[in-house]
Amino acid sequence: MSTAELKKQISEGIPSELPVAKPYDSNINHAPKRKDILNGAEKRLAVKNALRYFPVKFHPVLAKEFALELKEYGRIYMYRFRPDYEIKARYLDDFPYRSRSAASIMLMISNNLDNSVAQHPHELITYGGNGAVFQNWAQYRITMKYLSEMTDEQTLVVYSGHPLGLFPSHKDSPRLVVTNGMVIPNYSSQDHWEKFNALGVSQYGQMTAGSYMYIGPQGIVHGTAITLLNAGRMISKSGEGLSGKLFVSSGLGGMSGAQPKAAGIAGIISVIAEVNPLAIKTRYSQGWVDEVYSDIDKLVKRVRQAKSDNEVTSIAYEGNIVDIWEKFADENINVDLGSDQTSLHNPWAGGYYPAGLSFEESNQMMSADPEKFKESVRKSLVRQVDAINRHTKKGTYFFDYGNAFLLEASRAGADILKSDGEFRYPSYVQDIMGPMCFDYGFGPFRWVCCSNDPADLEVTDKIAAKCLEKLVKNSPDQIKQQMDDNIKWIKEAGRNRLVVGSQARILYADAEGRIAIAEAFNNAVARGKISAPIVIGRDHHDVSGTDSPYRETSNIYDGSKFTADMAVQNVIGDSFRGATWVSLHNGGGVGWGEVINGGFGMVLDGTSAARKKLRMMLHWDVNNGIARRSWARNKGAMFALKREMDRTPGLKVTVPYIADDEVIDEAMRLF
Ligand SMILES: NC(=O)c1ccc[n+]([C@@H]2O[C@H](COP(=O)([O-])OP(=O)(O)OC[C@H]3O[C@@H](n4cnc5c(N)ncnc54)[C@H](O)[C@@H]3O)[C@@H](O)[C@H]2O)c1
* Residue whose C-alpha is closest to residue 268's, from 454, 396, 421: 396
Q: Which atom of ligand 1 is closest in space to residue 206's alpha carbon?
A: 43
Using the mean position of ligand 1's atoms as its centre, give its distance from the Cα of residue 277 in Å.
14
Best of 274, 292, 341 for a ligand 1 pocket test (most atoms within 8 Å of beta carbon) = 341
The SS3 call for residue 157 is strand
Q: Ligand 1: which atom is nearest the Cα of residue 279? A: 39
| 402 CA → ligand 1 middle, Å | 10
Dist. CA 604–CA 1, nearest whole Å: 30
Angle at the Cα of 404 (from 403 to 405), degrees rounded to 5? 90
Please give the distance, rounded to the nearest whole angstrom, from the Cα atom of residue 351 to the centre of ligand 1: 7
Q: Which of 29, 213, 248, 256 to mutate to test the pocket of ligand 1 (most atoms within 8 A of CB)?
A: 256
Element (H, E) at 67: helix 59-73
Supply the pLDDT for residue 85: 98
Q: By alpha-carbon position, which residue is closest to atom 34 of ligand 1?
A: 274
Question: How many Cβ atoms from other residues are within 10 Å of residue 528's Cβ?
Answer: 8
Q: How far is the CA of 318 from the centre of ligand 1 (A)?
A: 15
What is the 95 CA–ligand 1 centroid distance (Å)? 33
Pocket test for ligand 1, best of 343, 388, 590 (most atoms within 8 A of CB): 343
What is the atom index within ligand 1 of the atom nearest the CA of 345? 41
Q: Please tell me the distance between residue 12's alpha carbon and the centre of ligand 1 in angstroms.
A: 36
**CA–CA separation, 322 and 498 (whole Å):** 30
At residue 33, the 3 state secondary structure works out as: coil
Phi, psi of 343 (to 5 degrees): -90, 70
Cα angle, residue 155 at apex, residues 154 and 159 outer, rounded to 5°: 150
CA of 571 relative to ligand 1 center, distance in Å: 27
Please state, in angstroms and rounded to a whole number, the distance separating the CA atoms of residues 639 and 268: 33
CA 496 to centroid of ligand 1, rounded, Å? 23
CA distance 188 to 457: 40
The residue whose CA has the least distance to atom 7 of ligand 1 is 589
Beta bridge partners of 153: none
**Residue 319 Cα: closest atom of ligand 1:** 33
CA of 254 to the centre of ligand 1 (A): 7
- Of ligand 1's listed atoms, the one at least distance from the Cα of 588 is 43
Confidence (pLDDT) at 337: 96
Q: What are the CA-CA distances from residue 170 to residues 154, 155, 481, 519, 613 (Å)?
A: 6, 8, 43, 24, 15
Q: What whole-number distance in Å separates Cα of residue 205 and Cα of residue 452?
A: 25
Which residue owns the Cα nearest ligand 1 atom 2? 402
DSSP per residue, 264-322: HHHT-EEEEEES-HHHHHHHHHTTSSSEEE--HHHHHHHHHHHHHTT---EEEEES-HH
Residue nearest to atom 25 of ligand 1 (CA): 251
pLDDT at position 241 is 83
Q: How far is CA 391 from CA 206, 238, 378, 474, in A?
A: 32, 21, 20, 43
The alpha carbon torsion through 498, 502, 507, 508 (nearest 10 deg) reads -130
Q: What is the pLDDT of residue 589?
A: 83
* Atom 44 (ligand 1) nearest CA: 402
Nearest CA to ligand 1 atom 40: 343
Q: How far is the CA of 468 from the centre of ligand 1 (A)?
A: 32
Give 343 Cα–ligand 1 centroid separation in angstroms: 4
**How remote is the CA of residue 342 from the centroid of ligand 1, in Å?**
3
Phi, psi of 357 (to 5 degrees): -115, 145
Q: Which atom of ligand 1 lies closest to the CA of 359?
A: 37
The terminus-to-terminus CA distance of the chain in angstroms comes to 77
**Residue 585 host element (H or E):** strand 581-586
pTM: 0.88
Q: Ligand 1 mean position to 346 CA, how many Å?
A: 9
* Spacing, Cα 60 to ligand 1 middle (Å): 40
Q: For ligand 1, which residues put their CB under 6 angstroms from it?
A: 119, 127-129, 220, 223, 250-256, 273-276, 279, 320-321, 341-345, 351-353, 401-403, 541, 589
Longest distance between any two alpha carbons in the chain, whole Å: 80
Give the residue whose CA is nearest to atom 23 of ligand 1. 251
Residue among 255, 348, 366 to mutate when testing ligand 1 (max atoms within 8 A of CB): 255
- List the helix and strand counts (H, then E) for the chain: 23, 17
Q: C-alpha dihedral over 498, 503, 507, 510, to 10 degrees?
A: -170
The residues with which 600 forms a beta bridge, in sequence order, are 582
Output the CA–CA distances (angstroms, integers) from residue 402 to 250, 389, 428, in the order listed. 13, 19, 7
Nearest CA to ligand 1 atom 31: 353
- Provide the CA 448 distance to its chain's centre, in angstroms: 16
Nearest CA to ligand 1 atom 43: 589
- Give 274 Cα–ligand 1 centroid separation in angstroms: 9
Report CA(377)–ligand 1 centroid distance (Å).
Answer: 15
Residue 180 and residue 168: Cα distance in Å, rounded? 22
From the CA of 127, give the closest atom in ligand 1. Answer: 15
Q: Work out which ligand 1 atom sits closest to the CA atom of 276.
A: 37
The atom of ligand 1 lying closest to the CA of 541 is 3
Q: Where are the beta strands (DSSP E) in 304-431?
A: 314-318, 337-338, 397-398
Closest ligand 1 atom number to CA of residue 355: 31
| DSSP-assigned beta bridge partners for residue 547 | 596
Closest CA to 402 of 550, 538, 540: 550
Distance in Å, CA 298 to ligand 1 centroid = 25
Q: State how far the Cα of 22 lies from the Cα of 19, in Å rounded to an integer.
A: 9
Q: Which of 224, 193, 226 is nearest to 210 (CA)?
A: 193
Task: Give the model's pLDDT for residue 220.
Answer: 82
Q: pLDDT averaged over consecutive 10-residue blocks of the chain (671 residues)?
A: 97 97 92 94 98 98 98 97 98 98 98 95 94 98 98 98 98 98 96 97 97 90 90 82 94 91 93 96 91 98 97 97 98 97 92 96 94 97 98 96 93 96 92 94 97 98 98 96 94 90 97 98 98 98 96 95 98 98 94 96 98 98 98 98 96 98 97 95
Instruction: Please give the DSSP secondary-structure letter assigned to residue 602.
Output: E
Please, are residues 98 and 151 in contact by the beta-carbon 8 Å criterion? Answer: yes
> What integer pLDDT is reported at residue 236 of this predicted model?
81
Amino acid at 402: G
What residues contact residue 476 under an 8 Å CB cut-off, 6+ apart? 639, 643
> Alpha-carbon dihedral of residues 33, 36, 41, 46, nearest 10 degrees?
-20
Please count the CA atoms within 13 angstroms of the CA of 620 that sit on its side-chain side.
Answer: 22
